[in-house]
Amino acid sequence: MLESKAINKEIHQGNGNVEKEEVKTSVFKDFLALIKIGIINSNIITAVTGMWLALHYNGLNFLPYLDKVILTCLGVWLVIAGSCALNNYIDIDIDSKMKRTQKRPTVTGNFTPAFALTIGLSFVTVGLIFLFATSVSAGIIGAFGSFVYVVLYSMWTKRKYTINTVVGAFSGAVPPLIGWAAIDPDLHVVAWVLFIIMFIWQIPHFLALAMRKTEEYRLAGIPMLPVVYGFDITKRQIMIWLICLLPLPFFFTDLGILFVILGTVLNVAWILIGVVNYRKDDMKWATKMFVFSLNYLTILFVGMIIATLI
């Protein structure tokens, strides 16, 4: 049984003072933090949706493809977990300066950088083997997503350019594409629409988060859009990306008019929340937009699966 332990961690405040904080943790909790279990869970949902829709659009039964479903879930889980561990390894210096990341085990010292690197490389390698076992397309897409997240995002653009959010969105958009490719390597147009939805969704989602954590990003020296250009430009960018979501539900007419209506209502509601609250407190606006983005993704992708069953 894993025993909990308390550690004293130095919290660096914006005024230069150092405050001691006792953090209760365990090996298991530290491991989940290392691999960013929250990110894994949300991406597994989109990957499973991709597989489910591939089966639906190709008129295939679920049970004969159970082996591919299991391999895909394991592969996606491992590739994302490994990529996140590598991100923690790369970001130790940044994470130590941001309040929301100071409890990560690579910062507290509970896990050594070498351990994070080993877990990251091992998980990504095994995960890709599982994905290639389903189809070459799934493996290639998985490798692309990991490369973008670890190299193009974590090692490069996150530290240098405000466009880092857009670059990172490419990696976050591949899980449904991987799921579809595991079943149907030819990739129907709907598979690419799933990719586009995930790509666009991430930008307002993470820009809203960046607004809420602007001062932390500023202290860490990360050039997020609100840090470099301010809230007004960031809010306009968020609204522009939301408008780009509007036509996408109409690519899912095969799922029925109810789903098209659901997708459209979600898109319009997100835009309306932004418009109605646009001139109000920036932090409250960002929080409303961020919270709705979480509900949006869950409702939309679960709605796709339900639509195939009614």
CA dist 162 and 299 (Å) reads 29
Task: Tally the residues of the chain.
Answer: 310
pLDDT of residue 87: 97
Of 24, 26, 21, nearest in space to 8 by CA: 21
Q: Which CATH class is domain 5-307?
A: mainly alpha
Q: Which amino acid appears at position 159 of this protein? A: R
CA dist 108 and 25 (Å) reads 10
pLDDT of residue 9: 44
pLDDT of residue 100: 85
The structure tokens listed for 57 are 């659009």
pLDDT along the chain (310 residues), means of 10: 39 43 76 94 95 96 95 98 97 91 92 96 98 98 98 96 96 97 95 98 97 95 96 97 98 96 98 95 96 96 94
The structure tokens listed for 116 are 């994070």
The secondary structure element, H or E, covering residue 5 is: strand 5-12
In order, the DSSP letters of 240-275 are HHHHHTTTGGGGGGGG-HHHHHHHHHHHHHHHHHHH
The structure tokens listed for 115 are 């351990």
Beta bridge partner(s), residue 5: 25
Residues 6+ apart with CB under 8 A from 4: 24, 25, 26
Domains in the chain: boundaries: 5-307
Where on the phi/psi map is residue 59: left (φ > 0), alpha (ψ -120 to 50), or beta? left
Q: Which amino acid appears at position 35 of this protein? A: I
pLDDT of residue 99: 87
- Coil, strand or helix: which one is 103? coil
pLDDT of residue 25: 74
The structure tokens listed for 53 are 């829709």
Neighbours of 218 (CB within 10 A): 17
Of 20, 24, 17, 25, nearest in space to 9 by CA: 20
pLDDT of residue 59: 94
pLDDT of residue 7: 44
pLDDT of residue 164: 96
pLDDT of residue 23: 54
Please give the C-alpha separations between residue 174 and each of 116, 131, 142, 233, 243, in angstroms, as whole numbers.
23, 13, 7, 28, 22
pTM comes to: 0.90
